[in-house]
Amino acid sequence: MSLDSAKECVETALNRADEATDTTSTFQGSMAAILAEVWRGLYMEQSWLGLRAYPPQAFITQPASKSLLLTTTANSKAATLNAAPTGLGGGGVSIENWWIMPTGKTYFLRVATHGAGAKALTLDTVAPETLAAVACAIAQLEYSLIAGTGILADAIWAEGNGFDGAFVPIRSEEELKLAYPGIPQQSWPPDVAARITPLVIRFSHWDITPHRIEIPYNREVADPTPTDATTLALPSYLRPALMEGMLALLYEMKKDDRRALADARYQRWVSKAHDYEVSLKTGGGDQSNQRRNAPYGERSRTGPYS
């Protein structure tokens, strides 16, 4: 079999384990869980080039405002602006989840709810003091990723202020907060970005000018079903690893001593796929391959086939 579909991988694993492939096997009911376990493990293994989405996701940042005045009362979440905020193109924009930084204050506020075109808003916590038409900067620091975004490929690329593709490294939220404590400042491009939820990124800085952001990423692929005969989303060079991983788990359920051999073949296929992607990324020339650093570099090999 070609191993191009989940159905073929399941049937091959069953056949090699000396089980019937006509749905009568005692282990047929376990194949969906076995398939899902190995499938998820494979696409989480690393940032596979074969799962890279194209084109990368991109968006334009919203320009921050430094011209609006904020009014609120101490110990109240209700607040108003002197005018409705405007976004790209001058139209009304919702500033829900944006940050408000009152001028001359040592704290910031966040917007819990706000409707586009409205002057009234609700803060995420009560105001620490009464503010009467106080000037403030209002900026969006967090942006949503599209559904299905898996591992970010390398970094975030930002345009603007003389940069046509500034490298913005990705750090943990803790690192961002430790490096840039307090009130976020205006600067571009941002020094770092952090993925604070699976589908939200935060920048360390903001700007009053809109800028293009480009994010190369890998897709999170949905689990196939054991009877699915369509071509798998995994690249072809990972499909043997999928089948061998399933076979190893099936051997485990059967208490079959051949599990160790299937495990070794699985590790070998993953290792070969990694090396193949290094060649895809850097080419076959000697000069391109003089030095390989992570994530393209050598990594430990396990199993008797290493």
Residue 248 backbone dihedrals phi, psi, to 5 degrees: -60, -45
Instruction: Determine the pLDDT at residue 164.
Output: 75
Strand ranges in the chain using DSSP code E only, listed in sequence order: 57-60, 69-72, 78-81, 99-102, 109-113, 120-123, 131-139, 142-144, 149-152, 156-160, 163-168, 170-171, 185-186, 193-197, 200-203, 205-206, 212-215, 217-219
Q: How far apart are CA 48 and CA 117, in angstroms?
A: 43
In the three-class reduction of DSSP (H, G, I as helix; E, B as strand; rest coil), residue 144 is classed as strand
CA angle 54, 58, 62 (to 5 degrees): 175
Asked whether residue 49 carries a pLDDT value surpassing 70, the answer given is yes
Residue 158 backbone dihedrals phi, psi, to 5 degrees: -120, 140
pLDDT in tens, 267-300: 999 999 999 999 999 887 766 655 555 554 444 4
Q: How far apart are CA 267 and CA 37, in angstroms?
A: 15
Q: Which residues contact 252 (CB under 8 A, 6 or more apart)?
A: 259
Chain mean position to CA 240: 26
Asked whether residue 249 carries a pLDDT value surpassing 70, the answer given is yes
Instruction: Determine the pLDDT at residue 89.
Output: 87
Instruction: Determine the pLDDT at residue 296.
Output: 45
Instruction: Determine the pLDDT at residue 160.
Output: 74
Instruction: Determine the pLDDT at residue 194.
Output: 97
Peptide bond between residue 189 and the one before it cis (omega within 30 degrees of 0): yes
**Contact, 157 vs 186, CB < 8 A?**
no
Which two three-digit tokens encode residue 64?
């921050």
Rounded to two decimals, what is the model's pTM? 0.85
Picking from 173, 102, 96, 172, the residue whose alpha carbon sits closest to that of residue 132 is 102
The rounded mean pLDDT for the chain is 92
Asked whether residue 304 carries a pLDDT value surpassing 50, the answer given is no
Picking from 168, 286, 245, 211, the residue whose alpha carbon sits closest to that of residue 12 is 245
Least confident of 180-184, 226-230, 279-283, 292-296: 292-296
Q: How far apart are CA 306 and CA 302, in angstroms?
A: 6
**Contact, 225 vs 31, CB < 8 A?**
no
Per-residue pLDDT averaged across 64-86, rounded?
Answer: 97
